Amino acid sequence: MLDKFKDECGVFGIKPHHEAANMTYLGLYALQHRGQESAGIVASDHGYLTCHKQMGLVADVFSEEALARLPGDAAIGHVRYSTAGASLLANAQPILINCHHGQIAMAHNGNLVNAGEVRRRLEGIGSIFNSNSDTEVILHLIAKSKKKTIEEAVIEALSQVKGAYSCVFITKDKLIAVRDPHGFRPLVMGTLGESIAFASETCAFDLIGANYEREIEPGEMMVVNELGMRRSSRPFKEKPARQCIFEHIYFARPDGIMFGESTLAYRERLGAKLAEESPVEADMVVPVPDSGVTAAIGYSNLSKIPFAFGLIRNHYVGRTFIEPKQSIRHFGVKVKLNPVKSLIKGKRVLLVDDSLVRGTTSRKIIKMLRAGGATEVHMRITAPPTTHPCFYGINTPTRKELIASSHTVEEIRKYIEADSLEYISLQGMLDCLENSNPDNYCHACFSGEYIIGFPGQDKESMEV
C-alpha cells in the first residue's frame, strides 16, 4: 500500500536503564514505520527532564551528540505522522510541560474524538495552547487537576477525554503507561534485565534484546516507580474491547505479535481466505510491496498459482526527493514501483494489495502492469471495502474521498481498469483471527459501526 493512509504514531518508554535514551532511540528506530514526520525523546536524570525533538526520521533527528545530551535512567519517545493536528514542530512529541505537579512529558498514539470540545472549554477558562495536537489537551487537564499525586491527575485527565489513547508519561521519578478502556491502539510491555519497557509493537523489544511479556490491557495503568517496581491498576470504567483490525492488515510490522496474533501468519491467512472466496485463473500472483507480500504468498499457496515479485519497490524514496519539472506520466507511482517486464509480459497477473482507498494508486499500478506487457490484471484486496473514515488514530480520507463509500465494486473495477476486482468479506477477515476474539475488534472503517459517538462539532472538524 503506497501513501493511501498516513501512518499513525509509535511510542516507547523504558525505566530504569543506564542508557535509557539510547534504548529509546533504538526502540523508535524499530517503530519508524508508524511515523516518519517527527521524532522525539524526553529523558529523566536525577529528577530533571530533558527533551530533544525535530521534524524528520529517527536516524536524522538523533546524533550521538544529541543522545549524549539526554542523560538519565528513564526515557520516553515518539515517532509521529499527523492524525490530529498539522505537520508542525509544535505538534511533535513527546510534549513536555512544567506545572504544579512538576515536570511531566507525554507521548500519545491515538485520536480523541472530543478533543475539540474539551479544548474549547479549556480556552474559555484561560488555557493557552502551543499546538493544535489533541495530545496537549490531556496535558492541560493534568496541569489543572487538583489531585495530590501525578497518577491521580493523569487518571482524572484521561477520564474526561473520549477516544483512543495508548500513552507513556514520564515524571521526575515515574514512568506511566496507559491504554484507553476500548484498547483501540496497541501497547505492549517487556523486560530487559531489571528494566521495564513499553512500546507500540513487539519489534521494538526485538531490537534492544528485551523479552516481550504481555499487552497493557484495555483500561490498564502501569506505573514504574523510582526503584523500578511496577504496579498495575484498572482506574477506568470497563468498556467493550475494540482493537483496531487494520493494525493486523497494514500498520503493524509483520515480524511481531499484535493483540495476541502473529501479524505475519494473519496476513498469510487473509491471502488464503481471498483465494478461497475469490478464485481466478491467472499465471502469477504479484503483491503490491511491501504490505501485500505476505497475503500474496497465502493466496499463492492455496490457489497453487505461482508467486512472483512482478513489482519492485524503491525503498530509498524520501521526503526530500526532487521531482523533475518535465511531465512524466504516473511519476509518483513510477518512482516507487517498477514492473519486471520480463516476468509479466504475456502473463495474466493476479495483483494483491491490503486496501483500496481512493483507487488512484491502484489505477496507476494496473496501467503500469499493462504497459509492461501483462495481458490481464485481476485485483484482490485483503480488506473489505473502506467505506467510512477512522476517528481513532488512523488518518483516513474523508468519506467523500473513499471510493467505496459511493461506488459499487463493479464501478470501482471499471475505474481502476482491472479485469476483475474482489475484496475479502468482513466475516472472512474476522475468521482469519486465530488467537483473539473477533468481537473485540473495531472495524468501523469497513462497517461504519463506531462504538464512540462524536460530541458537538468534533466529528465535522475531524472530517475536514
156-193 pLDDT per residue, tens: 999 999 999 999 999 999 999 999 999 999 999 999 99
**Which pLDDT band holds residue 82 (cuts at 50, 70, 90)?**
low
- The per-residue pLDDT for 215 is 97
* Residue 327: predicted pLDDT: 55
Which residue is catalytic, options 9, 244, 442, 445? 9
Other CB atoms within 10 A of residue 130 CB: 11
- H-state helical runs in 3-108: 20-30, 58-61, 64-68
Indicate whether 463 pLDDT > 70.
no
Residues 212, 190 contacting (CB under 8 angstroms)? yes
Going 401 to 407 to 408 to 414, the CA torsion angle's sign is negative
Tell me the C-alpha distance between 122 and 101, whole Å. Answer: 18
pLDDT at 37: 92
As given in the structure block, the three cell numbers for residue 237 are 470504567
Model confidence at 461, pLDDT cuts 50, 70, 90, reads: very low
Q: Which residues contact 230 (CB under 8 A, 6 or more apart)?
A: 196, 222, 223, 224
The pLDDT-based confidence of 443 (bands split at 50, 70, 90) is: very high
Query: How far is 200 from 189, CA to CA, in rounded Å?
Result: 9
* CA 345 to mean position of chain CA atoms: 36
- Predicted confidence (pLDDT) at residue 209 exceeds the cutoff of 60: yes
Give this prediction's pTM: 0.92
Burial 220-256 (b: 16+ CB within 10 A, else e): bbbbbebeeeeeeeebbeeeebbbbbbbbbbbbbbeb
Q: What pLDDT, on a 0 to 100 scale, did the predictor assign at position 286?
A: 98
Place of cell 517486464: 341
Chain center to CA of 446: 17
Q: Among 96-100, 139-143, 163-167, 394-398, which stretch is predicted with the lowest mean pLDDT?
A: 394-398
User: What is the separation, in whole angstroms, between the first and last Cα of the chain?
Assistant: 23
In percent, the amount of the chain with pLDDT more than 90 equals 83
Task: State yes or no: is 9 an active-site residue.
Answer: yes
What per-residue confidence (pLDDT) applies to 5?
46
Predicted confidence at residue 95, as pLDDT, reads: 96
Which SS3 state, helix, strand or coil, does residue 5 take?
coil
Residue-averaged pLDDT of the chain: 91
Provide the 10 A C-beta neighbour count for residue 398: 11
Q: Quick one: pLDDT at residue 131?
A: 85
What mean pLDDT comes out for the span 346-354?
A: 97
pLDDT of residue 317: 62
Phi, psi (degrees; rounded to nearest 5) at 181:
-60, -25
Reply yes or no on whether the pLDDT at 6 is more than 80: no
Residue 462 clears pLDDT 50, i.e. is over it: no
pLDDT over 70 (residue 99): yes
Range with the poorest average pLDDT among 22-36, 324-338, 407-421, 435-449: 324-338
Domains of the chain in start order, with CATH, are: 10-239 (3.60.20.10), 265-314+330-441 (3.40.50.2020)
Helix H, strand E, coil C: the string for 213-235 is EEECCCCCEEEECCCCCEEEECC
pLDDT for the residue numbered 30? 98
C-alpha cell at 415: 475505474
pLDDT of residue 140: 95
The mean pLDDT value for 237-241 works out to 96
- In the prediction, which pLDDT does 331 show? 65
- 130 with 90: CB under 8 angstroms? yes
pLDDT at residue 464 in the model: 32
Average pLDDT over residues 241-257: 95
Q: What pLDDT is stored for residue 394 in this prediction?
A: 79
Give the percent of the chain with pLDDT over 70. Answer: 91
- Residues with Cβ within 8 Å of 446's Cβ and at least 6 positions away in sequence, in order, are 245, 383, 384, 385, 386, 387, 388, 426, 429
Q: Cell numbers at residue 231, please?
A: 504496579
Does 28 have pLDDT greater than 60?
Answer: yes
Does residue 379 contact residue 421 with C-beta atoms inside 8 Å? yes
Over residues 54-79, the pLDDT tens digits come to: 999 999 999 999 999 999 999 999 99
Angle at 384 between CA 332 and CA 403, to 5 degrees: 50
pLDDT of residue 458: 52
In this prediction, residues 379-402 reach a mean pLDDT of 89
Residues 293-343 have pLDDT tens digits of: 999 999 999 999 999 999 998 877 654 444 555 555 556 677 889 999 999
Q: Of 34-38, 203-207, 213-217, 305-309, give the lowest mean pLDDT range.
A: 34-38
Q: Sorting pLDDT into bands at 50, 70 and 90, what band is 460?
A: very low
Maximum Cα–Cα distance for the chain, whole Å? 73
Mean pLDDT across the stretch 199-225? Answer: 98
Residue 327's SS3 state is: coil
Whole-number pLDDT of residue 111: 93
